Structure formats: C-alpha cells, structure tokens
C-alpha cells in the first residue's frame, strides 16, 4: 500500500493498487456467482487450473512459470495459514 497520505491521514493508492483491489473484487464476485451452481472445491480446482495454465502460457519459459507458481503458492500458504492461526 502507498505510504502517501491525504490531508485526513488516509493512504492514497496508486493506479496499480486500485487495479489490484478491483481485480480481487471482480474475482470475489465471479466466484460468488459460480458458487450458486458449483461446489466450492470444484470452483477452487477450476481457478487453480486456469491460473496455472495462464502462468505457463505467459511466462518466458517453463522454468520461470514454475518459479512464479512455486513462490506464489509458498507465499500464499504462509500468509493465509498465519492469518488462520491468529484468528
């Protein structure tokens, strides 16, 4: 998040931060819509499969794709398992 603050002390987000937030909101919305007709484990499987496929298709090579996938999963597991333990 941006370290720049407005006159009220609230952080001012960059266009990239706003786009990031919007992407998460859009993903939440489409997953909620899909959950009306599909089981959550199926949705998770489809989403993971889709994003792994995109990673291989867009990365410069398989080695970079695997690094992105591995590091992202490692970071997410650490973040979300920590959040779950601290609730």
Higher pLDDT, 10 or 62: 62
The 8 Å CB, 24+ separation contacts for 47-55 are none
State how far the Cα of 27 lies from the Cα of 87, in Å rounded to an integer: 24
The predicted structure's pLDDT at residue 2: 59
Higher pLDDT, 86 or 21: 21
Q: Full-prediction pTM beyond 0.85?
A: no
The predicted structure's pLDDT at residue 14: 86
Domain ranges of the chain: 1-37, 39-87
State how far the Cα of 29 lies from the Cα of 38, in Å rounded to an integer: 14
The predicted structure's pLDDT at residue 13: 87
């Amino acid at each position: 998040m941006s370290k720049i603050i407005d006159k009220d002390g609230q952080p001012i987000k960059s266009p990239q931060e706003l786009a990031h937030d919007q992407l998460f909101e859009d993903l939440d919305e489409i997953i909620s819509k899909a959950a009306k007709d599909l089981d959550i484990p199926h949705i998770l499987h489809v989403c993971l499969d889709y994003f792994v496929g995109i990673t291989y298709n867009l990365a410069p090579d398989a080695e970079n794709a695997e690094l992105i996938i591995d590091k992202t999963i490692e970071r997410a597991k650490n973040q979300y398992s920590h959040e779950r333990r601290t609730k």
